[in-house]
Amino acid sequence: MDALKGYYEQHSDWYDVTPTLLMRVEDFDGGNQSIIPTPPPGRNKIIDLDHLRHERDQMFENTTQLLINMAAEKPLILFLDDIHWADNPSLNLIQYLARHTKEAGVLIIGAYRPEELQKIGGRAHPFIEILHRMKREKLMSRISLERLGMPDIEKMISSIFGRTGLPQGFINHIYDTTEGNPYFVEEVLRSFMEEKIVDMTDKDWYRTIDTSQVRMPETIRDVIIRRINRLEKDTIKVLRYAALIGRVFDYRVLFSLMGIDEERLLDCLDDLVGAKLIHENLESEEETYKFDNTIISDVACTDLSRSRRRVVHGKIAEIMERLYEDKTALVIYDLARHFYRGKDYSKAAPYLMGAGQTAESLYALEEAEKYYNLAFKALSELEVNMENRQRQITVFGRLGRICQIIGKWQFASDYHERTLVLLEEAKNEVSENVSEPRELGLFSHEMLEESWWDERRAEAYRALGYIKRYQADWDEAVKYYDQALDISSGIDDLSGVAEANRGLGYVHWRKGEYDEAISHYKISIANMEKINDPAVGGVLFIELGNVYNSQGDWLRAVEYYEKSIETLGEVGDLREMGRAYNNLGDIYIQREDWKKAIMYCKRSESTSKKIGSKYMMGWSSFNQAECYANTGEFDKAIEKNNSALELLEPLEDKVGISAIYRNYGTICRLKSDWDRAVEYFEKSLAILSELDTPFDTGSVYYEYGLMYLNQGDRKKAKPCMKKALECFKKVGAKKRVEIIRTQWKDL
């Protein structure tokens, strides 16, 4: 009746006579059974059931006639939401209306959630019977609404936030959390805004978002708990323990964990499937089940105490270790997680390190970072001995390397610095206990060798040099590379000598000191040939290609880049392949072959995405932006440039950011937006003034000069071109010098 209340209020003659008897009868299923309300105290009133039926039938008929009369004026749609919450009399009314308005212009639409049609007090949900009756009478058609896919979720999020271009990682997180349930999406996003995790007044909100701070929205929690509480006690326990196993859980593990009769366990699982809380995982060949989404599994185990969870996680770990005795690699993540949450740190540490290595090999670098961090925490809980010391050193080294790849420079520096501290502490302990090898642990045979310590130290110094060079801190980079080179030379570590020289060569290249760069690269190649390491050789081909590219010897540069891609492809080094593709694209940018440039830059972007290298994704994006700007596709150019800035600003990549501002200036130049072009070129030059990179500075001045030429102001263009020429001459960029001299004979 609420659905028609608005109409009744506008037509008082109907509203005044609307019967309210159904509000007094809680359950009336057509005459077979009724629940009669208790009369108020002090009254002894006899209720006539025949009279109630008559009144009900009259109300049904009056409501039906009202709809038919309304539809006579124009077709009528009656929409009823959440009809799974309707009481029996209302459900009977829906069936009655459907039966008696078939010939009228009335369309009744009812929305319900199938997962809510669980048994109530051991009895079938009343709506199920109504659906069966209506189906038999052909009064209804059912339309199942599938969950939203990723593109639709993206549109929904953009609509709620009122903006497009949201970070893909954020959209992926929402999709993974909600599994495409639009109600969950809406509630999760609302909770993000209420918890100030998302502040749309802050244009940079997406750069600092921490979804781990978000609490489960109470609205979602209440819906799920209501569904869970309708289950039997045994079934609820099965659900909770299954949730602790994981979103996807193995039947064998659950059976061993529960310790109940198998038939009873299967009945419980059937009830959970029927309640739409879990489903059979048909993608797996094993007997596994899967929670409908992570929200359900999270809510399912919230009522368990922390002590209970710890104990159960420990049992799960032991069961899985036993069941997968000969193939623990298949469940390495699960074993790591359960032993850690079960606080069995001695077993958790090696499994966490193994999980980190597995994730790293699959280029799931953020996952690897998470597991290595947990491994260090687990190791910190164990006794201090040489075995655990070495594990800590290994973990910090790997964390530093991962953070380098994904561009977390400060974290990477911290890890490598801590590695050096640990090495010093551990070496001192070995020296003190060298007469008692039993105290040194399982790895004493390695750690007693002097070269082991030196190799690790040189490795850490090279990593620090690598970080400083990408931050354009050339002096610090040289300092670290020199320290690494001294150590590696002292122990005759050819690989270390080659790597340190490669790093020094890069610094000299960036500074425009090409002869010095080539000299260092040749030393690297000579050492690499002795130890036959194709992976490092492939990287060296990129470095040499860079030098020849900057000098304008493009044919030679292309030759080296292509050799590097071939070599790196054989060893599967996607990180460096992404760099080689990008640099090939840069050559075609200089040759103004925009089509080929975009092709190679896109290859770089897709390759870098596979390993999550934000640094290289940013570079390939702003190079694409330059191409799109020069082909007049300004919207694409701005989109790719914005994306590049979003990636590189948090990394504090000054060289990359200066190139992005140069691109913005070029876009404005080509759109004749002179004032903004000047603003962007000046921003780019301000950044480069802190660096010693003549080639990049020359490129900005050249674009600046072109802007004044486009304005027809050759007088203002001339000093810009002169500065560009000086920069290019300084680094021996012959092609660039030739281009400017051709246009400016008087320079």
Residue holding tokens 């799920």?
A: 224
Apex 11 CA angle, 8 and 17, nearest 5: 65
Least confident window among 121-135, 508-522, 559-573, 593-607: 121-135
**319 or 37: which leads in pLDDT:** 319
- For the chain, the first-to-last Cα distance in angstroms comes to 88
**Residue 9 has what pLDDT?**
59
Q: What are phi and psi of 648, to 5 degrees?
A: -95, -25
Three-state DSSP at 573 gives: coil
Confidence of residue 164 (pLDDT cuts 50, 70, 90): confident
Are 268 and 238 within 8 A, CB to CB?
Answer: yes
Residues forming beta bridges with residue 278, ordered by sequence position: 291
The structural domains of the chain, with segments of one domain joined by +, span: 2-136, 150-215, 220-304, 328-530, 584-743
Are 411 and 373 within 8 A, CB to CB?
Answer: no
Amino acid 300 reads: A
Least confident window among 201-210, 406-415, 733-742: 201-210
Task: Please enumerate, as own/partner, the contacts of 706-709 that have beta carbons within 8 Å and a separation of 24 or more.
Answer: 706/669, 707/665, 707/669, 707/674, 707/677, 707/678, 707/681
Smallest CA-to-CA distance from 330 within 347, 354, 346 is with: 354
Smallest CA-to-CA distance from 366 within 172, 179, 543 is with: 172
Apex 678 CA angle, 675 and 679, nearest 5: 90
Q: How far apart are CA 200 and CA 186, in angstroms?
A: 16
CB atoms closer than 10 angstroms to residue 11: 12
Task: Please enumerate, as own/partner, the contacts of 631-634 that have beta carbons within 8 Å and a separation of 24 or more.
Answer: 631/594, 632/670, 634/667, 634/670, 634/671
Confidence of residue 219 (pLDDT cuts 50, 70, 90): confident
Strand 106-110 and strand 278-280: the pairing is: unpaired
**Residue 62 has what pLDDT?**
83
Amino acid 45 reads: K
Q: How far apart are CA 390 and CA 292, in angstroms?
A: 42
Q: Which fold has domain 584-743?
A: 1.25.40
Query: Which helix (DSSP H) or strand (DSSP E) does residue 110 occupy?
Result: strand 106-110
Residues forming beta bridges with residue 107, ordered by sequence position: 77
Give me 566's structure tokens. Answer: 């071939």
Three-state DSSP at 250 gives: strand
Give me 549's structure tokens. Answer: 């590219």
Q: How far apart are CA 618 and CA 646, in angstroms?
A: 8
Smallest CA-to-CA distance from 241 within 261, 222, 256 is with: 256
Q: How far apart are CA 524 and CA 538, in angstroms?
A: 12
pLDDT in tens, 68-109: 888 888 888 888 887 877 777 788 888 888 888 888 888 888
Alpha-carbon distances of 327 from 324, 332, 335, rounded to whole Å: 5, 9, 12
Strand 76-80 and strand 106-110: the pairing is: parallel
pLDDT in tens, 400-435: 999 988 878 899 999 999 999 988 888 887 776 655
Q: Render 512-569 in DSSP notation, one character per residue.
A: T-HHHHHHHHHHHHHHHHHHT-HHHHHHHHHHHHHHHHHHT-HHHHHHHHHHHHHHHH
**Residue 23 has what pLDDT?**
42
CB atoms closer than 10 angstroms to residue 378: 26
Q: How many residues does the chain have?
A: 747
CB atoms closer than 10 angstroms to residue 325: 8
Alpha-carbon distances of 280 from 178, 288, 290, 563, rounded to whole Å: 19, 6, 6, 49
**312 or 389: which leads in pLDDT:** 312
Are 707 and 677 within 8 A, CB to CB?
Answer: yes
- How would you list the strands of the sheet with 288-291, edge to edge? 248-250, 288-291, 278-280
CATH code matching the domain that covers 328-530, chosen among 1.10.3720.10, 1.25.40.10, 1.20.950.20, 1.10.1060.10: 1.25.40.10
**444 or 267: which leads in pLDDT:** 267
Residues 6 or more apart whose CB falls under 8 angstroms from that of 203 comprise none
Q: How far apart are CA 550 and CA 251, in angstroms?
A: 61
Are 125 and 274 within 8 A, CB to CB?
Answer: no
Are 637 and 645 within 8 A, CB to CB?
Answer: no
**Which CATH architecture group holds 220-304?**
Orthogonal Bundle (1.10)
pLDDT in tens, 234-262: 999 999 999 999 989 999 999 999 999 99
pLDDT in tens, 4-44: 666 655 655 544 444 443 343 334 444 443 333 444 554 44
Residue holding tokens 């092709």?
A: 599
Query: Mean per-residue pLDDT for 666-685?
Result: 95
CB atoms closer than 10 angstroms to residue 287: 12
Q: Render 352-403 in DSSP notation, one character per residue.
A: HHHHHHHHHHTT-HHHHHHHHHHHHHHHHTS---HHHHHHHHHHHHHHHHHH
Q: How far apart are CA 449 and CA 56, in angstroms?
A: 94
Are 267 and 193 within 8 A, CB to CB?
Answer: no
Strand 288-291 and strand 76-80: the pairing is: unpaired
Are 600 and 584 within 8 A, CB to CB?
Answer: yes
Confidence of residue 437 (pLDDT cuts 50, 70, 90): very low
Task: Please enumerate, as own/partner, the contacts of 121-128 that have beta carbons within 8 Å and a separation of 24 or more.
Answer: 125/84, 126/29, 126/87, 126/88, 126/91, 127/83, 127/84, 127/86, 127/91
Q: How far apart are CA 45 and CA 335, in angstroms?
A: 68
Residue 620 pLDDT exceeds 80: yes
Strand 248-250 and strand 278-280: the pairing is: unpaired
Give percent of the chain above pLDDT 90.
Answer: 44
Give percent of the chain above pLDDT 70.
Answer: 86
Give me 491's structure tokens. Answer: 């122990």
Locate the DSSP E strands across 10-156. Answer: 76-80, 106-110
Residue 450 pLDDT exceeds 80: no
Residue 448 pLDDT exceeds 70: no
Q: What is the mean pLDDT of the chain?
A: 84
pTM of the model: 0.66
Fold equal for 220-304 and 328-530: no
